[in-house]
Chain A
């Protein structure tokens, strides 16, 4: 088993919460992990990414080689495109469609979506809308993880357990809302893949 994932977003959007939930799931599955993060200056509203590598074999590089990522998981549509040089010929792009506009020259969102639609395999999901439906816009990253989950070779129940672990301290209601967000994201991806 090998899953090379690029997580993408904007500093402050909390992409590392996705990595943490997935990391917990992978550890529980006895898998090996390497995960390179963006810290420092870019966290101030700049483009941020994380290279997350999960495997049942030892992993050498902390960075994913170009053209070999199995998945780009982006919480922002334009950011999903920034990492296309990493996507493999068989890889999936899974992205939220809600733009995060903090620059004056943010492109026309229609043009961004056109580029996404050109790819052979993608899921474009309105994670913010689904998150609001399940109770909080803050659950949108878990909707995104759910939408990506069909393309990650880890048992879904282990990912659910990962979410339980990281939200445990915040009480049962928060855990259940995030689990619901995860399931709704997964259901969307299953229907639209």
Chain B
């Protein structure tokens, strides 16, 4: 009997709570957001007073989780794949310090870039940090791994990565829950110097991390999440990682797969299982969601062993997420390919909501920039990135969180004056403030438009950590208060907004314009909840 119909992300939230977690630390990012939201709404999280407020960015989130681990308690940090780039400094060094209380990093990759600017595979980061990685193939495993991940972290004394991808994150299935574990008591690290990465200590810690690799390998080889499934037909051996295992089994219901299969859900790769497959089979097929990480390591530089098929030799596409059809083709299976999409069907890309304040800001900005040459607006990550599309076509960059301000500064340094940054309130708080400081220190001729909808909107209207603080942050960083303006982006204020933009674009120095109106999605959901 199914107990709960959970999204993969919800299963992780429940698993973390049931695993005795004392705090979740995260910044919203698709497809990871709902883990923290689920915990925020959970009655047991409320009862236990589990920490569950949003952090300013992924780096602060991970570091805070590490601090909770230092104090002996179990903590999880959640983020999307590109969020781990932001947290990477803390993450890589946390593998060096090790943990006290169990620490799990849940990272959600987005192959096919449904809501992201790249499809980087976080397993490389796990390997780079040299820590164990868990990659669930089902919502049940996602629950179990989140729940047991803390104990694995305490056993191995390093952070553990729980890696999921979009499909698992946002797909529901039945999940059975296990006993709820107690939280850890406050306790200090046994070694008071464990977390001091001074070179002399760091060298010792690094040797320890290297020595631990044997333990991590042994745990992978004995893991219940990795297994060798027998098959009669040895012409092919299949390695199926994470959710790719399900796509494979879709074609062989009830254990009818003729080929030997290794299901991989824990890394480092279980060497013994793979060596056995290599000995027994004529060819290997590697199925993995994301980059060909396992495939590359099995193929080797000279590819002179058992032939390895996968994403590198064209058996599967090099990019994009997997699905049952791609795997059917890789196995040479015939299937009815459905009907063609009629030509009459038009693309329907996402768009700014009707009535959104970003629209008014872009209309005014376009008018104020009409007298300048094009290509002056650097933008950022958020709903307003949709200003790249018609009818606005206002922006010329979207790279990473906070890059609007620093790229505008760099362009101004090169002589493109004025240069304009278009950034949201939450993205500004996440990674815009330090860039603004750089610009202030050199009095760069840039105008920073902080389009403030008082919410983290693209991910569903979470609380922005800069709420009510933007002007004071800008003044504190050193922007001249005479060049900080706030306006309500509404059609009736259009002329005033255009005038302000024109005035500040002409100013040779740092100016900030803050069009501020609450996100209409958040406003309507707030009104619904008040009823």
Return the contact of B383 from the options A11, A44, A63 (Cβ within 8 A).
A44
**Measured between C-beta atoms, what is the minimum distance from B68 to chain A in Å?**
28
Q: Report if A68 contacts B (CB, 8 A).
A: yes
Given A23-B5, A39-B30, A62-B171, A87–B338 Cβ distance below 8 Å? yes
Q: Which residues in chain B, 398-412, are within 8 Å of chain A measured between CB atoms?
A: none
Query: Using a Cβ–Cβ cut-off of 8 Å, how many residues does chain B contribute to the interface with A?
Result: 53
- Minimum Cβ distance to chain A for residue B317 (Å): 15
Cβ proximity bits B1-41 to A, threshold 8 Å, 1 near / 0 not: 11001010000000000000000000000110110000000
Interface assignment of A115: CB less than 8 Å from any CB of chain B: yes
Residues of the B chain whose Cβ atoms lie less than 8 Å from the Cβ of A67: 335-338
Report the separation of the CA atoms of residues A45 and B248 in the bound assembly, to the nearest whole angstrom: 33
| Residue numbers in B under 8 Å from A102 (CB-CB) | 348, 351
Q: Are B324 and A63 in contact (CB under 8 A)?
A: yes
The verdict on A61 contacting B247 (CB below 8 Å), with A33-B172, A36-B171, A38-B170 known, is: yes
* Pairwise interchain contact A11-B247, C-beta atoms closer than 8 A: no
Residues on the A chain within 8 Å of B344, using CB: 78, 81, 107-108, 111-112, 115
Q: Which chain B residue lies CB-closest to A89?
A: B336
A40 touches B114 (CB 8 A): yes
Assess whether B342 is in contact with A88, with CB atoms less than 8 Å apart. Answer: no
When the two chains form the complex, which single residue of A38, A66, A82 contacts B325, counting CB atoms closer than 8 Å?
A66
Q: Say yes or no: A40 contacts B7, CB within 8 Å.
A: no
With an 8 Å Cβ cutoff, the count of chain A residues facing the other chain is 56
Can you name the residue of chain B whose Cβ is closest to the Cβ of A30? B1
Q: In the complex, which residues of chain A have a beta carbon less than 8 angstroms from the beta carbon of B323?
A: 61, 63, 65
Also in contact, A60 and B351, with CB within 8 A (given A39-B31, A85-B340, A88-B338) = no
In the assembled complex, the Cα of A33 lies from the Cα of B2 at a distance in Å of 9
A66, B115: Cβ atoms under 8 Å?
Answer: no
Q: Is B199 at the interface (CB under 8 A from chain A)?
A: no
Please name the residue on chain B nearest to A19 by beta carbon.
B172
Does A157 sit within 8 A of B, measured CB to CB? no
Within 8 A of A (CB), among B140-189: 167-174
A27 touches B2 (CB 8 A): yes
> Which of A32, A61, A67 counts the most B-chain CB atoms under 10 A from its CB?
A61
A37 near B170 (CB under 8 angstroms)?
A: yes
- Chain B residue nearest to A106 (CB atoms) is B346
Contact A119 B2 (CB under 8 A): no
What is the 8 Å Cβ interface bit string for chain A, positions 50-70, against chain B (1 contact, 0 not)?
010000011111111111110
Cα A34 to Cα B1 in complex, Å, equals 14
With both chains docked as a complex, state the minimum distance between the C-beta of B34 and any C-beta of chain A, in angstroms: 7
Cβ–Cβ < 8 Å partners of A60 in chain B: 246-250, 253
Q: Do residues B338 and A85 form an inter-chain contact, with CB atoms below 8 A? A: yes
Contacts of B5 in A (CB 8 A): 23, 27, 33, 35
List, in ascending order, chain B residues with CB within 8 A of A40's CB.
30-31, 114-115, 458-459
State whether B31 touches A65 (Cβ < 8 A). Answer: no
Task: Confirm or deny: A135 has a beta carbon within 8 angstroms of a beta carbon on chain B.
Answer: no
Measured CB to CB, the closest approach of chain B to A3, in angstroms, equals 15
Interface assignment of B345: CB less than 8 Å from any CB of chain A? yes
CA gap between A69 and B7 in the complex, in Å: 21
Q: Report whether A84 and B339 are in contact in the complex, using a CB–CB cutoff of 8 Å.
A: yes
Q: For A32, A41, A105, A115, which residue has the most chain B Cβ atoms within 10 angstroms?
A: A41
A112 to chain B: which residues have CB within 8 Å? Answer: 344
Can you pick out 7 interface pairs between chain A and chain B where the beta carbons lie within 8 Å of each other? A33-B174, A37-B7, A58-B253, A60-B247, A85-B337, A87-B338, A89-B336
